Amino acid sequence: MNLSADASIGVFDSGVGGLSVLRAIRRELPAEHILYVADQAHVPYGPRPLEEVRAFAEGITRFLLARGAKLIVVACNTASAAALHALRQEFPHVPFVGMEPAVKPAAEQTRSGVVGVLATPATFQGALYASVVERFAEGVKLLPHTCPGLVSQIEQGNLNGHETRSILEAALLPMLEEGADTIVLGCTHYPFVMPLIQEIVGPSVRVIDPSPAIARQTRRLLEMRGLLRSAQAPASLNFFTTGPLQPFAMLLPRLLGETGPVVPLDWKDGELVERAQMKSHKEKPYAS
Ligand code: DGL
């Protein structure tokens, strides 16, 4: 694998959710080159079996390593739940940063002892969630909710419409009734609706977005390995999607606050390949 500090950080998610993590990484590590893969052909990951999500995560990891990634951020709680352990075993020389629901800081900060956790069904099923609950949630009442349909709304850029609000109210209002004073965002799509969440729960409820902590962990791992890039030349941002190009490119400035070239990819036998460009017959040379 490429161990040069000048190599890129690879970041991936089922879609635009990982951009909330990338936003924090850009603030923390503005000199780093970035490769971001959005597997929008398969979004949402949340309702899928863990083995299926693991196969996607492995395929994306192979793609990022082939492009020279020096570290990979699994910017998706669902893919982390499904694959982080397997990825570390399969690629032992690659540093991975993964997501886990921020139950630890929530348990430390709650005063009421009641914490709401918003995440996908696959995240709640994975061993990673069971392990954070066992390690950190003693004496705390956790209220899990899967927010069906929320990831799709965010993928469409509906960050504060009627549908998005009613999905969030269905999750959050019962949590408030049970006395929750802390809400954990256990899916990387959800920070994009944080203003709406905060509006629904009110200013006295703490909402935890783990992305700044993930960015700091990324810095620590790079520092430990001597792989931090110093900013002699500007950093490059390159994006890839397995879905339609245009909607992703249009959401980038809105969600990330910056943009870069977007290359479309297709899945072929479990591997990611650049999408063949449509050839126009008119462009073909005339053959007499
Ligand atoms: N953003 C992802 C997560 O953190 C995936 C959501 C989905 O595709 O269901 O879980």
In this predicted model, what pLDDT tens digit does every residue of 197-219 receive, in sequence order? Answer: 999 999 999 999 999 999 999 99
User: Given a cut of 50, is residue 283 above it in pLDDT?
Assistant: no
Phi-psi region of 147 (alpha: psi -120 to 50; beta: other; left: phi over 0): left
Establish whether 76 is a catalytic residue: yes
Q: Which of 76, 103, 256, 262 is catalytic?
A: 76
Which ranges in the chain are annotated with CATH 3.40.50.1860? 9-99+213-287, 103-209
Confidence of residue 287 (pLDDT cuts 50, 70, 90): very low
78, 45 contact by CB (below 8 A): yes
Domain covering 103-209 assigned CATH 3.30.2270.10 in the classification:
no
Ligand 1, pocket-test mutation among 151, 194, 214, 255, most atoms within 8 A of CB:
151
Ligand 1 contact, 187 CB (< 6 A): yes
Ligand 1 contact, 45 CB (< 6 A): yes
Ligand 1, pocket-test mutation among 22, 43, 78, most atoms within 8 A of CB:
78
Structure tokens at 60: 């994306």
Question: Which of 179, 117, 121 lies closest to 151, judged by CA?
Answer: 121
Q: Which of 187, 196, 201, 205 is catalytic?
A: 187
Q: Pick the residue with more confidence: 286 or 217?
A: 217
Ligand 1 centroid vs 45 CA: distance in angstroms? 6
pLDDT in tens, 104-158: 999 999 999 999 999 999 999 999 999 999 999 999 999 999 999 999 999 999 9
Establish whether 147 is a catalytic residue: no
Q: Is the peptide bond before 44 cis (omega within 30 degrees of 0)?
A: yes
| CB proximity list for 100: less than 8 A, separation 6 or greater | 77, 80, 81, 128, 129, 132
Helices (H), 76-232: 77-90, 103-109, 121-125, 127-136, 150-155, 162-177, 194-201, 211-224
- 9-99+213-287, what's its fold? Rossmann fold (3.40.50)
Ligand 1, pocket-test mutation among 45, 146, 192, most atoms within 8 A of CB:
45
98: helix, strand or coil:
coil
Question: Which of 32, 38, 47 lies closest to 78, judged by CA?
Answer: 47
Q: Quote the CA–CA distance of 245 and 240 in Å, as a whole number.
A: 9
Question: How many other C-beta atoms are found inside a 10 Å radius of the C-beta of residue 120?
Answer: 29
- Name the one residue in this structure whose structure tokens are 């052909």: 41
**Which atom of ligand 1 is nearest to 75's Cα?**
4
What is the maximal distance between C-alpha atoms in the chain? 81
232, 205 contact by CB (below 8 A): no
Ligand 1 contact, 11 CB (< 6 A): no
Ligand 1 contact, 61 CB (< 6 A): no
Q: Which amino acid is at 135?
A: R
User: Given a cut of 80, is residue 288 above it in pLDDT?
Assistant: no
